[in-house]
């Protein structure tokens, strides 16, 4: 990794609250220009050495993908669902574990899965998706996904741009100006970020004030990556127990009580201490919202009953058509829209509460006109 790129990633991680570069750019090394539909010539799909992964990639989706309770949701039938958390660029080839997946990202080759997301949205009654540029510069997504489907995607900001890619340093004031430009181009909120105060870089919560001032001026929500994997599985990042990252975020939330912070994934993908810590944060701070991508029904139930459906949003973290081949095999489909929709359907909540979290909360947060 070249030194300028390494420095940018250090800055990005510290600024995590203010830019999607912090979760997305931390995986991208070597400052080659990202490419849409890049050829995976230089990559080896090591899943060929894992029969279980070959089976996962080739097997048809489970029955609940097509015939699950998601299809009976009122919001799905009325095609009103809003997915608050999606991406359209990922690697052409997947890894089989976190180390291999990080290597795939390091190669800095990306494929455009925009049409796959649109197809999924059409099939699952999703009217709109809030789209965070991931891994590739903001301009690339603006020229492809946003341009191709302006009526289906809600723009979210990204700190990874053609100007910041490879930069030695990006100050909070500079980031605020980048975000301002993206807001003026139609962005409705700060895209997914990876805020881990004190992991890398020298910025404090106080240093972030230029970006926070812009967020308050725009009254825009900030989507945070939370939970398992929040520090990444890379040598230059540090593991943190659930309560430690939650404590960092609690410091942020208390410092800026007027900012609307959205807890991406509500802490994790299964019943873990991370998920419970995210729920505890939502209990503790009125300015926090729970986005439930990949969350089990029990966590969705706890969120709705604990803070009200008005502070809970549906998301999927969709990023590619095929199931994931790294991480727990039982969770290969967790990024698919039907997966979380099924858990919303199975949660112990009312249909009105499901409507609220499936689209009404997002409409209020993003200031969208009624359907």
- What would the two tokens of residue 250 be? 């609690």
* Burial bucket for residue 38 (CB in 10 Å: 0-12, 13-18, 19+): buried
pLDDT tens-digit series, residues 176-235: 999 999 999 999 999 997 644 332 345 778 888 999 999 999 999 999 988 765 444 444
- Distance in angstroms (rounded) separating the CA atoms of residues 37 and 99: 23
| pLDDT for the residue 226 | 87
State the sign of the Cα–Cα–Cα–Cα dihedral 195, 246, 223, 38.
positive
- E strand residue ranges, 61-183: 81-86, 89-90, 111-112, 126-131, 153-155
364, HSE (Cβ side, Cα atoms, 13 Å): 13
CB 314 within 8 A of CB 357: yes
Looking at the chain, the whole-number percentage of residues with pLDDT higher than 90 is 57
CB 8 within 8 A of CB 167: yes
- Which of 110, 168, 177 has the alpha carbon at shortest distance from 144? 110
Q: Is the pLDDT of residue 353 over 90?
A: yes
* 236-258: average pLDDT: 83
- What would the two tokens of residue 90 be? 């990922």
Residue with tokens 């430009």: 181
Query: How distant, in Å, are the alpha carbons of 49, 274, 338 from that of 62?
Result: 23, 27, 11
Confidence band, pLDDT 50/70/90 cuts, at residue 272: confident
pLDDT tens-digit series, residues 50-103: 666 656 666 678 899 999 999 999 999 999 999 999 999 999 988 877 788 888
SS3 at position 72 = helix
- Which of 246, 255, 336 has the alpha carbon at shortest distance from 56? 336
- Which of 332, 325, 339, 333 has the alpha carbon at shortest distance from 91? 325
Pairing state of beta strands 89-90 and 111-112?
antiparallel
Would you say how long the chain is, in residues?
A: 371
- What would the two tokens of residue 346 be? 């199975």
The DSSP result for 139-170, as a single string, is HHHIIIIIHH-TTTEEEB--S--TTTTT-S--
CB 22 within 8 A of CB 16: yes
Average pLDDT, the chain: 82
Reported pTM? 0.85
Q: 81: left (phi > 0), else alpha (psi -120 to 50), else beta?
A: beta
| pLDDT for the residue 113 | 97
Return the DSSP state at 32: P
Residue with tokens 């829209």: 337
Instruction: Give me the torsion for CA of 215, 265, 263, 7, rounded to 10°.
Output: -60
- Distance in angstroms (rounded) separating the CA atoms of residues 258 and 38: 42
Q: Is the pLDDT of residue 17 over 90?
A: no
- Look at 24-38, 129-143, 147-161 and tell me which has the smallest mean pLDDT: 24-38
Return the DSSP state at 291: E
Q: What domains sit in the chain, N to C, each tagged with a CATH number? A: 3-35+58-366 (3.20.20.140)
């Amino acid at each position: 990794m070249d030194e300028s790129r390494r420095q940018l990633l250090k800055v990005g991680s510290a600024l995590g609250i203010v830019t999607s570069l912090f979760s997305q750019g931390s995986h991208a090394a070597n400052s080659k220009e990202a490419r849409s539909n890049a050829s995976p010539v230089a990559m080896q799909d090591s899943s060929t050495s894992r029969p279980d992964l070959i089976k996962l990639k080739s097997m048809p989706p489970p029955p609940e993908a097509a015939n699950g309770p998601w299809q009976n949701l009122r919001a799905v039938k009325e095609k009103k669902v809003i997915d608050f958390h999606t991406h359209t660029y990922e690697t052409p080839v997947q890894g089989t574990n976190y180390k291999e997946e990080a290597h795939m990202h390091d190669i800095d080759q990306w494929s455009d899965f925009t049409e796959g997301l649109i197809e999924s949205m059409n099939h699952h009654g999703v009217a709109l998706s809030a789209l965070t540029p991931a891994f590739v510069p903001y301009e690339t997504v603006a020229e492809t996904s946003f341009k191709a489907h302006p009526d289906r995607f809600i723009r979210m900001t990204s700190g990874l741009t053609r100007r910041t890619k490879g930069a030695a340093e990006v100050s909070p004031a500079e980031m605020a100006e980048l975000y301002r430009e993206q807001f003026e181009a139609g962005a409705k909120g700060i895209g997914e970020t990876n805020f881990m105060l004190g992991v890398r870089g020298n910025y404090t919560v106080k240093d972030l004030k230029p970006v926070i001032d812009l967020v308050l001026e725009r009254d825009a929500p900030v989507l945070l990556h939370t939970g398992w994997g929040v520090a990444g599985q890379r040598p230059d990042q540090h593991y943190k127990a659930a309560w430690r990252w939650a404590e960092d975020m609690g410091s942020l939330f208390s410092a800026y009580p007027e900012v609307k912070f959205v807890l991406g994934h509500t802490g994790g993908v299964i019943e873990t201490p991370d998920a419970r810590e995210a729920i505890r944060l939502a209990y503790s701070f009125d300015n926090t919202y729970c986005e439930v991508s990949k969350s089990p029904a029990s966590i969705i139930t706890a969120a709705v009953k604990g803070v009200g459906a008005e502070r809970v949003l549906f998301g999927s973290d969709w990023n590619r058509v095929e199931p994931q081949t790294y991480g727990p095999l039982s969770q290969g489909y967790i990024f698919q829209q039907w997966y979380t929709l099924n858990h919303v359907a199975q949660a112990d909540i009312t249909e009105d509460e499901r409507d609220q979290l499936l689209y009404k909360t997002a409409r209020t947060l993003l200031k969208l006109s009624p359907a």
